[in-house]
Amino acid sequence: MVERVTSLMNEPVKIRNIGIVAHIDHGKTTLSDNLLAGAGMISKELAGRQLFMDSDEEEQQRGITIDASNVSMVHTFDNEDYLINLIDTPGHVDFGGDVTRAMRAVDGAVVVVDAVEGTMPQTETVLRQALREHVRPVLFVNKVDRLINELQVDSQEMQVRLGKVIDHVNKLIKNMNPEKYKAGWRVDAAAGTVAFGSALYNWAISVPMMKKTGVSFNDVYEFCKAGDMKSLAEKCPLHEAVLDMVIHFLPNPLEAQKDRVKVIWHGDEDSEIGTSMTHANADGDLAFMVTDISVDPHAGEVATGRLFSGSFSRGMEVFTSGTAKKSRVQQVSIFMGPERLEVDKIPAGNIAAVTGLKEAIVGSTVTTLDGMAPFESIRHVSEPVVTVAVEAKHTKDLPKLIEVLRQVAKEDPTLQITLDEETGEHLMAGMGELHLEVIAHRIERDKNVEITTSKPIVVYRETIKKKIEPMEGKSPNRHNRFYIYVEPLDLEIVNAIKSGDIHMNLPELERRQKLIDLGMEKEEAKGIVGIFNSNIFIDMTKGIQYLNETMELILDGFEEVMRAGPLTREPVANVKCVLVDAKLHEDAIHRGPAQVIPASRQAIQAGMLTADDTLLEPYQKVFVQVPQLLMGGATKELQGRRGIILNMSTEGDLAIIEARVPVAEMFGFAGEIRSATEGRAMWSTEFGGFDTVPTSIQNEIVGQIRERKGLKKELPKASDFLSM
């Protein structure tokens, strides 16, 4: 196998880099098992039960995928061998960050949908992540046998239901990326971009496969009815149907990089490195994007990612974006599930695993070209909404704990680690309760540090409601003054910043035009000097001496407030700060960091408190499927948690409820919903954005947060921050 893989690596036309994406429990890992069995890497008898890609013991115990895992295999199509680099991704909403990162490394995605449940919230999210990265989708409708044997539908009804699933996926593609939809990215059973089957029983069928084997839809129906899955699997093996579809319809690196490089790299396309990347040139300068970092107990940190240009070989010296010194590559290898196999050289167009890049983090650009424009950073869909405080059980482990937390944050960029200097606690913020539970378990198991974690706490955001007059911030020595006003930032601009359309690395003219298109005045758009999270800082002053030299310090003050707002020391969101005037001392000694930072910080803090500083709390969208008779219990449970019911529909005897519930009210939901519905409710959640905390409970929540953080009980006033 290894020899076949290494010989095919040098022929980009015969490579397919694919990811398998879907909602939780729709059968991604079972499907990956079958593809591996078809390629002869694991035994056919165990496929579907072995879950080869879930190599971590926690994944096996919980029965879910937690980490994206890579494998390379060979498939023969029309008497030609092809190399398939596959990434199996998690479906649980708490591990969505792994999907976003995997999408950067691949060119095509197999979207798996359960024939009975149809497209679910997470299917929508992963499809959006794929289309944003210009990754082409094909569809695999899984668990078709359940339609026939559990729901007892006839052959006509079966085809109608499958048609509905395809229509819904196409509707999603059309809404998310109309250009690509028109360019032929819609999935179409007749064309062959859809396959149907059962990953558990190893069979699959598609229109090209029917022509090849002579097995029709009615035959499939008869086999399933008779419970004879074995003959069906022999006639229509799953790996053949799915991998033929992948090779035929998903792009090879040469085709894909022409389109994708424009989306993920904002350098000069006509430059030497630009051309080398669009043509996946193995002899060009090296351009490698790190999408994952894992730790091998023997080899240290392993950086996995996509090689867009050049070739990796042992011993070469490379630059990592954001660091000045060079690193030396120690080993170059490919992944075979949990194992890494060393090779001499990996050319462009492949997914590579490299050791020796100590400085690299997820999202780093690794290159042999000094000063290459880095790839665009990876944007995650949801934000950390739940925090726990982590403490070492034994004092002797304290230094080790700090090191371990750094390491964990490097391996999983959706995790935020902060040290609360006032309480001395280490805070770990993640996507949800399960995410934090898994990380805490791994710290104890893999890093051998015993820890205690607090109860989960919700992460709020601070924002403002109105525009105010400029506030004066004075430096402690009274020699420098800044006049700054704050106002709420337009939501369209906030969304553009979050989706990565607008950032400080964009060429200034392009950024200005985008902001003007979103309704910002030209002068303001011209004056943007800083963007931090979803907040911006604008300089509207004219011709003030020494301002350029001090701007970096003013921005430091701005960022300090945006990290911890004046009301509760929580992060700030959606605020526009505008500097309208400044008076600066002519002597540089009198306008150092100790003078300028407090002055700009205090003006913004006082401004926010005057502009009705309020809290935003994170929400989750909750989807519940429950028998109609027990619907009352479920709605009562949601409404009792300050939930808003958005939609209710019925399908057969099932009621489907869609609601928005504050994350703060979701703790312990799993147990309560079970007892309210006799254990018959199925539910899933996805990140639902932030919304204002109701006025009636705001002061109480602010009080609780201030108490927890050891701040004064009285609420702060603007005058507390202004020096007289």
Would you list which residues are annotated within the binding site for GTP? 22-29, 88-92, 142-145
CA distances from 586 to 477, 540, 542, 549, 581 (A): 13, 21, 17, 11, 16
Q: How many CB atoms lie within 10 A of CB 110?
A: 25
508 near 545, Cβ under 8 Å?
Answer: no
| 3-state DSSP of 357-385 | CCCCCCCCEEECCCCCCCECCCCCCCCCC
**CA-to-CA distance for 215 and 45, rounded, in angstroms?**
23
Burial of 81 (0-12, 13-18, 19+ CB in 10 A): middle
Q: If you ran DSSP here, which 8-state letter would residue 227 be given? A: T
Q: How many CB atoms lie within 10 A of CB 295?
A: 14
Helix (H/G/I), strand (E/B), else coil: 203: strand
**CA-to-CA distance for 235 and 258, rounded, in angstroms?**
38
Strand partners, 195: 140
With tokens 């930032």, the residue in question is 489
**CA-to-CA distance for 509 and 506, rounded, in angstroms?**
8
| DSSP code per residue over 709-723 | TT--SSPP-GGGTS-
| Interior/surface letters 503-519, b for 16+ CB within 10 angstroms, e for the rest | eeebeeeebbebbeebe
**CA-to-CA distance for 398 and 637, rounded, in angstroms?**
42
Q: How many CB atoms lie within 10 A of CB 421?
A: 7
What is the CA 92 to chain-centroid distance, rounded? 12
158 near 146, Cβ under 8 Å?
Answer: no
Phi (first) and psi of residue 369, to 5 degrees: -100, 115
Residue 79 structure tokens: 């008497």
Strand partners, 197: 204
Helix (H/G/I), strand (E/B), else coil: 201: coil
**CA-to-CA distance for 480 and 595, rounded, in angstroms?**
8
With tokens 């950067």, the residue in question is 104
Q: Give the number of residues written for the chain.
A: 724
Strand partners, 242: none
Phi (first) and psi of residue 422, to 5 degrees: -75, -40
Shortest CA distance to 242 belongs to which of 210, 195, 201, 200? 195
Contacts of 52 (CB under 8 A, 6+ apart): 32, 33, 36, 41, 42, 337
Binding site per annotation, positions: 22-29, 88-92, 142-145
Shortest CA distance to 584 belongs to which of 535, 616, 541? 541
| 3-state DSSP of 575-604 | EEEEEEEEECCCCHHHHCHHHHHHHHHHHH
| Interior/surface letters 177-195, b for 16+ CB within 10 angstroms, e for the rest | beebbeeebbbebeebbbb
- Per DSSP bridges, beta strands 80-88 and 15-22 are parallel
Shortest CA distance to 528 belongs to which of 579, 582, 603, 485? 579
With tokens 């982590």, the residue in question is 390
| DSSP code per residue over 185-197 | IS--TTTT-EEEE
CA atoms within 13 A on the CB side of 724: 2
**CA-to-CA distance for 631 and 633, rounded, in angstroms?**
6
